[in-house]
Structure 1
Amino acid sequence: MVHRRPSLASRMLVLLLLCIPSPLPAKDTVTWMEAVFPPFYIQSGANQEQGYGDIVTDILQEHLSDYEHEEVITNITRHFYKFKQGEKVCSAGLYKTAERDAFMYFSIPSFITLPPVLIIKKENIANFGHQTTVPLADVLANKGLMIGLAKDRSYGKTLDAILEQHKGQGNLVEFTGQELSFNLFQMLLRNRLDGIIGLPEEALYQAEQMGIRGQVLTLTLAENLQNYDGWMSSVGCSKNAWGKEMIEKINAILLEQRPTERYRAAYERWLDAGSIEQYRKAYSEVFLKTRP
Structure 2
Amino acid sequence: MVAASMGSFLSAKAVANDDITWGVNSAPPFHIYDGEYKDAGVCDALVSAFQQELPQNIHNIRKLPSKRITMIMKRSKNLCFPCVIKNSPYNDTFLYSDTTHKYAPHGVITNRDTAQYITAKYGYPVRFEELAKDTDLRFGQPDERRYGKLQPFIDDYLLNSSNFSFISGQKSHVSVLAMILNDRIDYTVDYEMIKKYYQRTHDDGAKLSFIPIAEYDGQVIEGAVGCTRNEWGKRTIETLNSAISSVQSNSEFQRALDRWLGPNRPR
Correspondence for 1:84: 74
Correspondence for 2:149: 158
Structure 2 residue aligned with 1:43, among 18, 25, 33?
A: 33
Structure 2 residue aligned with 1:122, among 112, 120, 126?
A: 112
CA distance in 1, matches of 2:128, 2:65: 25
How high is the sequence identity, in percent, across the aligned residues?
Answer: 20
SS at match of 2:200: helix
1:253 correspondence with 2:240 = no
SS at match of 1:37: coil
1:177 correspondence with 2:169 = yes
Unaligned runs of at least 5 residues, structure 2: 1-16
- Asked if the contact 1:30/1:90 (under 8 Å) is kept, the reply is yes
Number of residues paired by the alignment?
Answer: 247
CA distance in 1, matches of 2:150, 2:101: 18
Q: Deviations over 1:161-184 (max 9, x none)?
A: 544544634234332321213321
Deviation at 1:140, TM superposition (A): 1.0
- Asked if the contact 2:111/2:181 (under 8 Å) is kept, the reply is yes
Correspondence for 1:276: 263
Q: How does 1:194-209 map to 2 (within 5 A)?
A: 194-209=186-201
Correspondence for 2:131: 139
CA distance in 1, matches of 2:263, 2:137: 32
1:33 correspondence with 2:23 = yes
- Asked if the contact 2:46/2:247 (under 8 Å) is kept, the reply is no
Q: Deviations over 1:235-265 (max 9, x none)?
A: 0000100001111111111133314544333
CA distance in 1, matches of 2:118, 2:217: 18
Q: Aligned letter for 2:159?
A: G
Report the aligned-residue RMSD: 2.2
Structure 2 residue aligned with 1:214, among 199, 206, 213?
A: 206
The alpha-carbon distance between structure 1 residues 162 and 94, as it changes in their structure 2 partners (threshold 3 A), is farther
The alpha-carbon distance between structure 1 residues 169 and 105, as it changes in their structure 2 partners (threshold 3 A), is same
Q: Deviations over 1:175-194 (max 9, x none)?
A: 23212133212211221111
SS at match of 2:58: strand
Structure 2 residue aligned with 1:100, among 91, 108, 115?
A: 91
- Asked if the contact 1:75/1:176 (under 8 Å) is kept, the reply is no
With normalisation by structure 1, the TM-score equals 0.76
Structure 1 residue aligned with 2:159, among 165, 168, 173?
A: 168
Deviates more, 1:234-243 or 1:110-119: 110-119
Q: Aligned letter for 1:79?
A: I
SS at match of 2:244: helix
Deviation at 1:225, TM superposition (A): 0.9
Q: Aligned letter for 1:227?
A: Q
Structure 2 residue aligned with 1:112, among 92, 98, 102?
A: 102
CA distance in 2, matches of 1:70, 1:122: 43
Correspondence for 2:49: 59
The alpha-carbon distance between structure 1 residues 112 and 207, as it changes in their structure 2 partners (threshold 3 A), is same
Correspondence for 1:244: 234
SS at match of 1:202: helix
Q: Aligned letter for 1:143?
A: T
- Asked if the contact 1:140/1:172 (under 8 Å) is kept, the reply is no
With normalisation by structure 2, the TM-score equals 0.83
- Asked if the contact 2:133/2:158 (under 8 Å) is kept, the reply is no
Structure with greater Cα Rg: 1
CA distance in 2, matches of 1:153, 1:49: 22
